[in-house]
Amino acid sequence: MDVLVCVKRVPAPGGKLLLTEDGLSVDTRHLGFTIGPHEECAVEEAIRIAAEHGGSVTVLSAGPPETEEQLRYALSMGADHGVLAEVGATELDPEATAAALVETIRTLESESKPFDLVLFGNETADAGHYQVGVRVACALGLPIVGGIKGIELVGGQARVQLKRDVSDGVEVYDTPLPAAAAVKEGLNLPRYPSIKGRLRAKKAPLRTLRPTPEPGGLRTVRLRQPPEKEHATVVLGHGAEAAEAVVDVLAEKGLV
């Protein structure tokens, strides 16, 4: 089972996000970066699948050279190979992102063999386009289901069962391999990298490819802060003494 996981480098803000002066991007000078939580679960799942069924885990990201940090993090968790599709610092639109990933995956597959399973996050934590995985899977001719919170290989590794929550229950999809899935946080609890893993990842070679995607039809004009509702917080009191006032609020809502 050779598994490919696509991850994106995204800012990890604690509080409010600051924007650059031209409003075209997030001011990341004082921010840390991370892999989105959905995608971290995808990496974890890939490592577990390869450990159980044999095979390898490749992690791929399209982004600026600094994306090395996120690729090495995935390697420190236990992924085998890291591939950077270097596309510069300006965020690509979702069609161009998908095209860059497809071009890179085709190159990788032409050198060895097709991946058995390709994992995506359900949506990126920053842009949240809800489509890059679907576009890549379509271009590669793979079936793909989103919102996945359970992956199980069946039929002697010929098929995969994909489970997801829907508003009123659970759905399980069955598909032959090779296949793709877009997963959600909750699929598993990602591990913390071990010291040994970190040391190994530090020295591991990374592959860099430079795809040249055409821009798509969605063009960002500017980013802005959502309007903040002007309002004052009513402080009901301090400690246990505030309990009576809390019950008043509950009563107002018809809950007592």
Ligand X SMILES: Cc1cc2nc3c(=O)[nH]c(=O)nc-3n(C[C@H](O)[C@H](O)[C@H](O)COP(=O)(O)OP(=O)(O)OC[C@H]3O[C@@H](n4cnc5c(N)ncnc54)[C@H](O)[C@@H]3O)c2cc1C
Residues that bind ligand AMP (CB under 6 A): 6-8, 36, 38-39, 60-63, 94, 97, 101, 120-121, 123-124, 127-133
Tokens of residue 46, six digits = 């890939």
What is the C-alpha to C-alpha distance for residues 46 and 171, in angstroms, rounded to an integer? 21
Place of tokens 């949506």: 123
Which of these ranges, 30-38, 46-54, 161-169, 245-253, lies near ligand X under the rule CB under 6 A? 30-38
Contact 164, 171 (CB under 8 A): yes
193 binding another protein? (CB under 8 A) = no
Q: According to the binding rule CB under 6 A, does residue 34 interact with ligand X?
A: yes
For the bound state, the minimum distance from the C-beta of residue 83 to ligand AMP, rounded and expressed in Å, comes to: 10
Confirm or reject binding of residue 101 to another protein (CB under 8 A). no
49: closest CA among 140, 161, 198, 124? 161
Shorter beta-carbon distance to another protein: residue 14 or 205 = 14
Paired with 86 in beta bridges are 63
Least spacing, CB of residue 241 vs ligand X, in Å: 15
Site for ligand X (CB under 6 A): which residue of 36, 178, 211, 213? Answer: 36
Q: Which residues contact 163 (CB under 8 A, 6 or more apart)?
A: 148, 149, 150, 151, 152, 170, 171, 172, 173
Applying CB under 6 A, the residues found at the interface with ligand X are 12, 34, 36-37, 125
